[in-house]
Amino acid sequence: MAEHLDPRTGLPVVAMVGGGQLARMTHQAAIALGQSLRVLSTGPDESAALVAADVRLGDHRDLDALLAAAEGATVVTFDHEHVPTEHLRALEAAGHRVAPGPEALVHAQDKLVLRRALAAAGEPQPAWAEVTSTEEVAAFAARHGWPVVLKAPRGGYDGRGVFVVDGPDDTLELFGRYDVLLAEQRVPMVRELSALVARSPFGQVAVWPVVETVQRDGINTEVLAPAPGLDEGTATAAQELAVRVADRVGVVGVLAVELFETPDGVLVNELAMRPHNSGHWTIEGARTSQFEQHLRAVLDYPLGSTAMTAPVAVMANVLGGAAAEEGWAGPGLDERVHHLMAHWPDVRLHWYGKGQRPGRKLGHVTALGDDLDTVRARAVAAARYLADGVIDPAFAFESEHREPEH
C-alpha cells in the first residue's frame, strides 16, 4: 500500500486517538515538523480538539469511528491506552499502520500480560500473582506479607484501580467488583523513577535521563530531571532495562517505564506506550521533546538528540485547587497567568484548556537551571499560584508584602 501523505504539504498525516493534553502537545510538535495531526476526540471541547485543525468526533471504543479517523492517515497512534485490542487488530486488518501495534500495546493495557512477559524475560519486578478470591490474596500475603497491593488488570491510571489492603476483610468488597485482580508485594520503596525511551520500526532507540517522579495520592505532582542523587550505575541499569523492555514487546513510539527504586535496585511498576507525564519536562529541557520524538518514531524518521538543555529541569503539574472550586472569588485564570509571568518570567506554562475542577490536571509548568532546590522552588511556587491563587512569600513583590491600608 502506498504511504498516505497530505496532498497539501507532501508530508505525513498522523491520526491520534484521543483528544486530551497529550494529543494537544503532540499537535504543537507536529506544527514545527510540518506534519498534519488528525485527532479522534469524544467532544469538541477536549484539550486537543480546541486547537487542532483536523478533528474527528467519535468514541475510541467505536470501530467505525476508528476506521474513519484512520482513513488516509500515514499512521495511527494514541494519547491513551484504552482502545480495545480487537479494534486495533481490525485497523491493521483493514490495512492501516498502527503504532504501537496491538501486540505491543496490550502490555500497557493489561497489567497481568505485562507481569507474565517480564517474568518470562527475567526482568526485575515485584513479587506478584493473579488472584480471584480472598483466600488467594491471603495465601499470597502468607508468602510476602501484609499489606498487599491489589490492582485492576485493565483501566487504572493516576491511582485509580489500585488498592492497598491490610488484611483479608479489606478484599471482600473488591471481589464483588472484580473477577480477577493482580496482587503485588508492597516493596520497600525509596522513591519512584521513570525511564523514557523511544523506539522506531527500524529498531533505533533513544533514551532520556532517568527522572524522579514525585507522587501525591497516586498522582504525579512533580518530575525532577535528572533524578537527584541517582548513581550512574543505577541510572544506566534503568535505561538499559527500558530499552530491553521496548525491544521485547516491540513498541513503536515513546515508552515510559515506571520504576520503583528499592535499596537493592529498580523494579518495573507499569508501562505507558505514549508520551507520558514524566516526560513533559523534555519540551524545554531536552533537545528533542517526547512529543516530537514520538512523531519521529511512529513515522520511522531518525530519532533526535535527548541531551538536556540545562543541568536541571523540574516540571510541576497544575492540579485543580482552590481556584477551581465553585464560588472562587479570587483572581480569575487570565489574571493569574499575568501574575505568574510577572513573578516567574523564566518558568514556561502549558495550559491544557480543560474545564476546571479540584484535583484535575489542568496544565504544567517547567523551570530550568543549575541548582535543583532553586529550580524546584520556582516551579512548585508557580504551579501552586495557578492552582490556589496564593503567591509564595519568597517570590512576592515588595508591594505584596505591605499591610493593607485601613
Q: Which residues are annotated as a binding site for ATP?
A: 111, 151, 184-187, 192, 269-270
**Distance of alpha carbon 158 from alpha carbon 320, whole angstroms:** 14
CA–CA dist 237, 243 (Å, integer): 10
Angle at 41 between CA 223 and CA 50, to 5 degrees: 75
Q: Binding site: residue ranges? A: 111, 151, 184-187, 192, 269-270
Strands 36-41 and 11-17: parallel
Cα–Cα dist 381/340, whole Å: 9
296 contacts 200 by C-beta, under 8 angstroms: yes
CB 351 within 8 A of CB 280: no
Q: Is 207 in contact with 173 (CB distance < 8 Å)?
A: no
Helix axes 63-70, 85-93, angle to 10 degrees: 40
**344: phi then psi, degrees, rounded to nearest 5:** -130, 70
